[in-house]
Structure 1
């Protein structure tokens, strides 16, 4: 049984990292040791778990199925070990979280800093990216996602709402005028956000006449980075629709102003999502508890 669990751990870490070398660095082992452990597991199960090349490995369909089950097994084992040692309610071990870049840096990192001070045995692996990660494949404990949940295999908890604001620099509206109606937007420069998950321009959304409406304005400039879009606004290049927390400081200073405030769209949900499992480790439960105090 001991060797089987070691083989499962070697397999899971290799699947997360996509190579024996990267997994070995994470575990403090030798790549050859992990490769042999995985080979023994494949021999005992009589299935091929990885497609191998000289630089990386990728899961076979059998490997994909085993990886999901293996992750749940290892998480439950860790929780049981913590329970047996009397540390069931103390967050320990490595907490892997995946966060949108700006929301993560501005709003979630302060919560994680508070957790790190409170729980000295907790380790943090924080990934800031706007593209959606595969939680199971990458071994991520919790991700923060914007908008409705699209993966029914994940558990979701609503932790807040994201308000979108249409903004421009004060210099821009002084030079070009302030739009008062949706129809006025055609006379202005639109700065659009190219969504990293799809490569498409994010449409502008408004609440008018009791319902949400969408528009896709023509543009001379699109940006695939939220901070870059804020910079374009500050450089007087036009109007952009952004999450309010992206421009909180600029709005407070007056450098940037909100337009068409009465037409703000319905806020979209901010979710904490994690793989479904019967036992949720204490570190995950503690992080979910902290997220309830999220301020956006």
Structure 2
């Protein structure tokens, strides 16, 4: 069934991006490069490809990736300055939620306003990243604090749940620190990461625009209380912390250079 659904999705995807792909292939031809198959916009390295998500959320593949060329970087997260959670005017003892749609998503003030209105009615506190649009918000509820930027890798370990767009940094950091998430994707890898989180029991995927207060309340309650999700996140976090991504990447690259030097000597 999964394979049938994927083929239907793939067929529709290729139909939609067909004109874009044709322009891309024309660009390649103008520069003396061979055309790519429909749906493909880049090619894998014949030597080494580093995958920035952990194996715990990888998709089942009909053709497994060659481990000699494809390696997962389990624990690859950024480092940031320390952050102290500020005092809230209300709900000071309630679960803490961090909300961020990335620098691009901050421009969607309509969706963030809707979220603020919904979270204001729930027994939670929320830190919300609004980027350069802080002046667009007034009468901020007492259980919510807005700011232009947060040192995210220092914030996520201190919260109880995250609502985000599915960007790879936030996606990976939530898994690394074992935090459940609601992902509302809108572009690029967000759709893929939201599906991974949802299907592997690490969080919930929600439509960015077509959601109700009741749906958000239910999903937030689920990720804050689900014991099975907590166990899954704890296991994945443990695996990621035992395998530092930067160190693994350096070792793999060093080995690749050494092999290549021997072959060309």
TM-score (norm 2): 0.24
Larger-Rg structure: 1
Structure number having the greater strand percentage: 1
Relative contact order: is structure 1 or structure 2 higher (C-alpha 8 Å, sep ≥ 6)? 1
